[in-house]
Amino acid sequence: MHPSTAILYIAVAIVGTVVTIACVRVIWLAVGAYRINRAGPRPLFASRHAIWRDPGDVAALDLMNGPGGPSGVPRPPFQFMEEHTSGSQPCVSVRDAAGRRWRVKWGNEVRSENFAVRVAWACGYFAETTYFVEQGEIAGSVNLQRAHTCINEHGRFREARFELDDPNVRKLFEEHSWAWNDNPFVGTRQLHGLKIVVMLLSNWDTKDRRDVARGSNTAIFEQRLSRWRREARYLITDWGGSMGRWGGNIVTRGRWDPPGFAAQTPQFVTGVENGIVLFGYAGQRTADMASGIRVEDALWLCGYLGQITDEQIHTALIASGASDEEAASFTVSLRDRISQLERVNVSRATPLQGSTSRLAMQERNSPARR
């Protein structure tokens, strides 16, 4: 074959691939828009909306057990309820000895999701009650489809993520979830701080309400505060794409990869330009995550993030199923990334020295939290 002919074929193949991808994206957007329009307005009754709350003394938080605390740990024996056929990983629902319902998930997202939830929670963001269970037994698990590879004929399983499914919380997913560019917190340091946490953990899977055709990873949980008061809490419900390499496509990105995470750490913060922090991150919605984050936003987050100790990070990693070697590598990389954030402006970073920053104390005492 003549070289010019081969080049032509390659060019046609590249153009064809690009056009195909563009057409698929257009179809996804069209299907998503149709589903959102068909679903109608969100059935929310809450008068208050929140994406963040003051975590208190971060250095004293229990990152082994996370949001659920030691009393929330799943209690065996577990009774099978149903299998879920949607989602990218095998998943079933079970009831534990305390009568609580759990969604049990397996696969390559289990460790990264369990750990990321703990970091987000420690920074003040709402997160689901999640635990890594090394092994156990689920009674009554028969006629399984995808989950038959994770639960043997005796009901035994290994390395699962248990996520609390509280029936007292109204959960709005998919068409009624939220988008990074369309929520009550656009432009606030709280939303920008959540974006930084996403990039800190290299979570590339940032699909939102606009991506409902593929599945949104955001949700709104309506929590009852009293008989007459409800609060709508905005959160990320899938952190499975964390703790590996970030990337804009399936070739460059990964999950739970200590060497890959370490390799990209030097490019976490790439500079500051006109008061805006620049990041090396890339993901499914790169512009939404990495654009427009102010130095002040980064320093505000560091007032909480910077309080997390290496021991807490290591403990949370071990509680998420990491080996000692993996925990050591991730801890070093995360401390490096946090230090990069704290150095975005040396003169403004001064208040962050010490275990509790003045910025954090000011935030706790402030009557208005934008």
User: Is the pLDDT score of 20 beyond 90?
Assistant: no
**Greater model confidence, 80 or 86:** 80
Lowest-pLDDT range of 48-62, 119-133, 243-257: 243-257
First and final CA of the chain: distance in angstroms? 65
pLDDT in tens, 281-309: 999 999 999 999 999 999 999 999 999 99
pLDDT in tens, 148-164: 999 999 999 999 999 99
C-alpha 196 chain-centroid distance: 11
**What confidence category does residue 36 fall into, taking pLDDT thresholds of 50, 70 and 90?**
confident
In a domain, 177, yes or no: no
In a domain, 30, yes or no: yes
* Number of domains present in the structure of the chain: 1
In a domain, 6, yes or no: yes
In a domain, 100, yes or no: no
**Greater model confidence, 19 or 259:** 259
pLDDT in tens, 313-337: 999 999 999 999 999 999 999 999 9
Place of tokens 């079933």: 92
In a domain, 2, yes or no: yes
Integer Rg of the chain from CA: 22
Give the pLDDT confidence score for residue 26 in this predicted structure: 64
Residue 227 φ then ψ, to 5°: -60, -35
User: Is the pLDDT score of 45 beyond 90?
Assistant: no
Nearest to 206 by CA among 103, 85, 287: 287
Report CA-CA distances (Å) from 348 to 111, 119, 191, 353, 357: 35, 24, 21, 11, 12
Report which DSSP code applies to 209: G
In a domain, 24, yes or no: yes
Nearest to 173 by CA among 124, 216, 115, 233: 216
Q: Which two tokens stand for residue 1?
A: 């074959």
In a domain, 11, yes or no: yes
As a whole number, mean pLDDT of residues 187-203 equals: 98
Nearest to 171 by CA among 228, 124, 233, 120: 233
Give the pLDDT confidence score for residue 88 in this predicted structure: 79
In a domain, 28, yes or no: yes
Give the pLDDT confidence score for residue 362 in this predicted structure: 40
Place of tokens 């490096």: 336
Nearest to 200 by CA among 279, 255, 257, 253: 279
How many CB atoms lie under 10 A from the CB of residue 123? 23
Place of tokens 């991506």: 211
Place of tokens 């959960």: 171
pLDDT in tens, 116-149: 999 999 999 999 999 999 999 999 998 999 999 9
Report CA-CA distances (Å) from 203 to 115, 166, 198, 219, 320: 12, 25, 5, 16, 16
For residue 12, give its domain range.
1-40
User: Is the pLDDT score of 356 beyond 90?
Assistant: no
**Greater model confidence, 353 or 172:** 172
